[in-house]
Amino acid sequence: MTTARDLPEDVFEDPPPAPRWRARLAKARSALGERLGAALARPQLDAGTWEALEEALLGADVSWEVTGQLLERLRAEASERHIADPGELRSLLASGVADLMDAPDAGLDRSGSPAVWLFVGVNGSGKTTTIGKLAHAEVAAGRRVVLAAADTFRAAATEQLAAWAERAGAHLVGGNPGGDPAAVAFDAASHAAATGADVVMIDTAGRLHTNHNLMGELAKIRRVAERAPGELREVLVTLDATVGQNGLTQARMFGEAAGVTGAVLTKLDGSARGGSLLSVRAELGVAVKLVGLGEGLGDLVPFDAAAFAAALVGDDEEYADVRGA
């Protein structure tokens, strides 16, 4: 008999095709496209071209550090290949972005009995919605899921998570209003272990990364989750893609408090600051594991570095080239 743990690791259907990524990243592409197009349309590859490329990347919310890395790689490849036409740099840039964003640990870790995933982030970053959509996908794949309502300070948060649990077919473990969120996390993991569930997803209260007391509480939740039955496999920070480089500061602070293992970028379809994703990967060293490309249940998808790069900087026909690079 096939069990949940025998199922393929990817709970999602086939990755979204290139046109979908391109359409959903229209705002981010637009922010980069005009300046990038002007740079690549120059008559020859000279100092002015490199300056224009730098301005284009910075204007798309790519950080100084990452912009420097990409341009250094482009210069080396252009010199090695004796490139004189700036237009030839587009595919090289797409490949550079894809390589930068690619990560061997981009998949979600489901090992453990159960696997425990802790979700952290600021208010309004989309934690609860992300958990709900992910729970729906996990249950649809045949896994047994327990949701922990560890945001005990806001009654609406528990109600929202309960609605998602019912919709997904997951079990909800909550606590008393104003109760200890770490206790809720422990109870959820204990229940999951006792009932043979596969995954526990812990929702936490949104908090400003500058609030040291609440960040300390988050560290406590992590410590308790590590001691609870099962294995703490993921600490995922949800970042609103529309906030751009501010998300990098948030992710860094949450990483210090809770040991972040990966990032979930929400509202990517509504952001003109897609370049900020590059900073999360390059400067924090954690994989972008999931992205939100819309409001539908199926719009939370595994991050695809090649599709992202092609949609952000490539031509229509370049998606296959980047994927095969």
Question: What average pLDDT score do residues 58-62 get?
Answer: 84
User: Which of 30 and 278 is assigned the larger pLDDT?
Assistant: 278
Q: Is 223 helix (H, G, I), strand (E, B) or coil?
A: helix
Domain 18-103+314-323 adopts which CATH fold?
Answer: Four Helix Bundle (Hemerythrin (Met), subunit A) (1.20.120)
Q: In whole numbers, what is the pLDDT of the chain averaged over residues?
A: 83
CA atoms of 172 and 149, how far apart (whole Å): 7
- Summarize the confidence of residues 87-109 as an average pLDDT: 91
10 pLDDT tier (thresholds 50, 70, 90): very low
Give the DSSP per-residue string, 48-60.
HHHHHHHHHHHHT
| pLDDT tens for each residue of 116-141 | 999 998 888 888 999 999 999 999 99
Provide the pLDDT for residue 207: 63
The two structure tokens encoding residue 136: 């729906």
pLDDT the model gives residue 211: 61
Phi, psi at residue 193, to the nearest 5°?
-65, -40
Per DSSP, 116 falls in state E
Give pLDDT tens digits for 21-46.
777 777 777 767 778 888 898 989 99
- In this structure, are residues 168 and 135 in contact, taking their beta carbons and an 8 Å threshold? yes
Place of tokens 């994703």: 277
Query: Which amino acid is it at 263?
Result: A
- Name the band, by pLDDT with cuts 50, 70 and 90, for residue 273: low
Q: What residues contact residue 224 under an 8 Å CB cut-off, 6+ apart?
A: 182, 183, 185, 186
Average pLDDT over residues 192-219: 82
| pLDDT at res. 83 | 93
Instruction: Tell me the C-alpha distance between 45 and 97, whole Å.
Output: 20
DSSP 143-188: --EEEEE--TT-HHHHHHHHHHHHHHT-EEE---TT--HHHHHHHH
Query: Phi/psi at 115 (nearest 5 deg)?
Result: -80, 135
Enter the pTM of the model: 0.85
Query: What pLDDT is attached to residue 184?
Result: 95
Using CA atoms, how far apart are residues 91 and 36, in angstroms rounded to an integer? Answer: 12
One-letter amino acid of 276: S
On the question of pLDDT at 318 being above 70, the answer is no
Phi, psi of 40 (to 5 degrees): -80, -10
Q: What is the pLDDT of residues 155-201, one digit of tens each?
A: 788 899 999 999 999 999 998 888 899 999 999 999 999 999 999 99
Q: Residue 271: left (phi > 0), alpha (psi -120 to 50), or beta?
A: beta
| Reported CATH class of domain 115-266 | alpha beta
pLDDT confidence tier of residue 324, bands split at 50, 70 and 90: very low
The domains of the chain are located at 18-103+314-323, 115-266
